Chain A
Amino acid sequence: MKLMGMTITEKILAKHAGRDEVHPGELLNCRVDVVLGNDVTTPVAIEEFEKLQADRVFDRTRVVIVPDHFTPNKDIKSAEQAKGVRDFARKHGIVNYFEIGRMGIEHCLLPQEGLVLPGDLIIGADSHTCTYGALGAFSTGVGSTDMAAAMATGEAWFKVPETIKFVFRGELPPYVGGKDLILRVIGDIGVDGARYMAMEFTGPVISSLSMDNRFTMANMAIEAGGKNGIFAPDEITLDYVRGRNKREYTLYYSDADAQYAEIREYDVTNMEPVVAVPHLPENVRNVSEVAGTSIDQVVIGSCTNGRIEDLEMAAGILRGRRIHPEVRLIILPGTQEIYLEALRKGFIEIFIEAGAAVSTPTCGPCLGGHMGILARGERALATTNRNFVGRMGDPQSEVYLSSPVVAAASAIKGAITPPWEVK
C-alpha cells in the first residue's frame, strides 16, 4: 500500500515514534536525540529530575547543558544557579557541559559543535531551540519539566503539527537577508500566525541562502508561535555538518504530495530591509519608514544574529568609521570560536576602533539580563528576536529589531538608518 505523502516534520516525528506514517493532530511518544538546558531553565529541571529519583540521565552524551543567560555570573543568585547546574553536570558526568570560556550562546554553540544534526529530534528548555531546524532537524522548545522527564527517559510527547509552507522566489536585493525574510513573515501572519504549527521554508531564494541566514530564520519561528521551523537539507547544509558531526545522521525531505495547511509565496525582488517596532515582533516596517528614529544603544549579537556572517556584515559597514557619539554599541559574538574567527579576520579591531564594546559570548542584554540594560525612556536597536515590554530593561524602555547591517548603519548615524545611506 502506498503511504500518504508526508512533510519533513512528519517524517522525522514518525521515525522517532517508530511509525511509518503520522498525521497532524496525532499524539506521539518519541525518542529524542538531544535534550538541552541552560542556566535559567536547568535549575528548575534539576528539582523535577530529583523528584523522579532516577539514578542517572538516559545518555550522558545526549544531555547538553550551556550556562549562557546570566554568565559570566552577574550576581550572587545567578552564581548559585550556575553552581547548581555545574554540580549536577559533574555528578551525572554530562559530557557536553560547556563552562565559561569554552562556551557560547546555546543555539550558536550546538550546531557549531556538531551536537545537533540533520534528521535529529531535539528538545530544549529554551524557546529558541527551534533554531536547529535550519539543519533539517525537528527541534522545538519545551519547559523545564519536559527537560527533566526527557533527561530521565530519553523520550517526550508531541502532537504532530500541521505545516505552513513558505516559498521564497526572486532575487534578494542588497542588504536584505534572512532576518528581513523572517521578520516579513512574522509581520504578515502575526505573533500567533503559526501557533502550534511547523513552518517549512523553501524556494530558490532559500536554496542559495547561507547556513547562518537559515539559522536566523529558523530561530524566529517561535516569534510567529511556530512549533518548529525547518529547511530541507542540501549541499550547503552538508558542507556545514561535515567535519563537525561525531555520529551518523539521516536526511529527510518532504514528499511532493505532502499535505500543507497553507502555502504562502513571497517574491523578494523588491524587498527592503525591515525593522520591528515595539512591542511585538509582528510590528514590521520597511527601514525607510522608521528612518530617523533616534537610538541610545545598539546591540549586535544573540542566538539570532551572533554568528560569523552577522559580524562580517556589521564589520563591512563599520570598517574605517566611528559610531555616533551619543550611541553605545555592544557586540556579542555568539561563541568563543566565532569570537576567535572574528578576531583573526580583523572584525574585532574594526569594532573597537569604531567605538564599540565587545563582550565575551553571553545572552546578556537580549533578555535584559546584564551587559547593557536600558534605563527608563531609552531606546535600543538590536539584532535580537524579541521586543516585548521590558525585554531589555526598564518596562518603559523600547527595543527595535533589525539585521546586523541596519544595526551597524544606525549606530553610525545615531538613528535608524537604511544601510545604503552610509557610504
Chain B
Amino acid sequence: MKLTGKVHKFGSDVDTDAIIPARYLNTSDPAELARHCMEDADPAFPSQVKQGDIIVADKNFGCGSSREHAPIAIKAAGVSCVIARSFARIFYRNSINIGLPILECPQFIDEVEAGDKLEVDLVRGEIKNLSRGKTYLAEPFPGFMQDIIDKGGLINYVREKVR
C-alpha cells in the first residue's frame, strides 16, 4: 500500500498530553478526539491537517500516558502515517494494535522539512521525499508485529484464539 501526503513536522518528546489533552478524555469518540489532535503542540493543526498527511517527529514521539486516544485521534484526523526518529514504548504498541502505520527512520528525519510531499510504501518500508528527490529505507517490523498489522490490528489477530 502506498501513502502520499504532506509533512507536518514536530520536535522531540511530543507527549500524549500534547497529542490529545486530558481535558478531552471524557469521550472516546474518534471524530471528537480528532478535532483536538495535537492542539497543545500546534493549535492550528486540527484545522490544517488534510486526509493522508504525514506527521514527522524527532525522538520519543508519544511519551507519557497509555491513552489509546492518542493514536486514535491521529488516525481519525486523517493522518496516514507517523514517521519519527524513535517512539515511546506504549505509543508504539498502541499504534500497531489499532493499525496506525508508524515508521522509525533517523536519517530521513535529518533531511525533511515541513510541507515536503512524501510517498510511503509500507510493505517495503520505503519513504520517498518527492520534494527533495531522495529515498530512504525505514526499520522493518519484526515478523510477529507484521502479522498483527496484516490482520488489521490486535483484535483481529486475537479473535482466532478466542473462538
- Contact check: which of A53, A78, A195, A368 meets B60 at CB < 8 Å? A195
Q: Which residues of chain A come closer than 8 Å to B63, judged between CB atoms? A: 191-192, 225
Cα-based distance from A12 to B39 in the complex (angstroms): 40
The verdict on A145 contacting B98 (CB below 8 Å), with A195-B89, A225-B63, A368-B23 known, is yes
Q: Is A315 an interface residue (CB 8 A)?
A: no
> By the criterion CB–CB under 8 Å, are A70 and B26 in contact?
yes
> By the criterion CB–CB under 8 Å, are B28 and A52 in contact?
no
Cα-based distance from A157 to B90 in the complex (angstroms): 13
Q: Which residues of chain A come closer than 8 Å to B88, judged between CB atoms? A: 192, 195, 225
Q: Is B135 an interface residue (CB 8 A)?
A: no
The verdict on A40 contacting B60 (CB below 8 Å), with A127-B66, A145-B153, A225-B89 known, is no
> By the criterion CB–CB under 8 Å, are B159 and A395 in contact?
no
Minimal beta-carbon separation of B28 from chain A (angstroms): 5
> By the criterion CB–CB under 8 Å, are B17 and A391 in contact?
yes
> By the criterion CB–CB under 8 Å, are B40 and A395 in contact?
yes
Minimal beta-carbon separation of A128 from chain B (angstroms): 8
Q: From residue 171 to 225 of chain A, which have CB atoms closer than 8 A to chain B? A: 191-192, 195-196, 222, 225
Q: From residue 127 to 182 of chain A, which have CB atoms closer than 8 A to chain B? A: 127, 129, 141-146, 148-149, 152-153, 157
Closest B residue by C-beta to A75 = B26
Q: Which residues of chain A come closer than 8 Å to B21, judged between CB atoms? A: 368, 390, 395
Q: Is B128 an interface residue (CB 8 A)?
A: no
- Contact check: which of B59, B64, B93 meets A143 at CB < 8 Å? B93
The verdict on A389 contacting B17 (CB below 8 Å), with A77-B26, A157-B144, A225-B89 known, is yes
Q: How many inter-chain contacts with C-beta < 8 Å in the A-B complex?
A: 137
Q: Which residues of chain B come closer than 8 Å to A52, judged between CB atoms? A: 155, 158-159, 162
Q: Is A367 an interface residue (CB 8 A)?
A: yes
Cα-based distance from A388 to B70 in the complex (angstroms): 15
Question: Contacting chain B: which of A41-49, A87-95, A231-239, A342-350?
Answer: A41-49
Q: Which residues of chain A come closer than 8 Å to B65, judged between CB atoms? A: 126-127, 367
Cα-based distance from A195 to B91 in the complex (angstroms): 12
Q: Is B27 an interface residue (CB 8 A)?
A: yes
> By the criterion CB–CB under 8 Å, are A368 and B26 in contact?
no
Q: Which residues of chain B come closer than 8 Å to A379, judged between CB atoms? A: none
Q: From residue 327 to 386 of chain A, which have CB atoms closer than 8 A to chain B? A: 367-369, 386
Q: Is A62 an interface residue (CB 8 A)?
A: no
Cα-based distance from A198 to B69 in the complex (angstroms): 25
Minimal beta-carbon separation of A206 from chain B (angstroms): 24
> By the criterion CB–CB under 8 Å, are B64 and A146 in contact?
no
Minimal beta-carbon separation of A40 from chain B (angstroms): 5
Q: From residue 62 to 103 of chain B, which have CB atoms closer than 8 A to chain A? A: 63-69, 72, 86, 88-90, 93-94, 97-98
Q: Is B25 an interface residue (CB 8 A)?
A: yes
Chain A residues packing against B (C-beta within 8 Å):
27, 40-41, 43-44, 47-48, 51-54, 69-70, 74-75, 77-78, 81, 124-127, 129, 141-146, 148-149, 152-153, 157, 191-192, 195-196, 222, 225, 227, 280, 367-369, 386, 388-391, 395
- Which 3 pairs of residues, A with B, have the shortest CB-CB distance? A143-B94, A77-B26, A192-B60
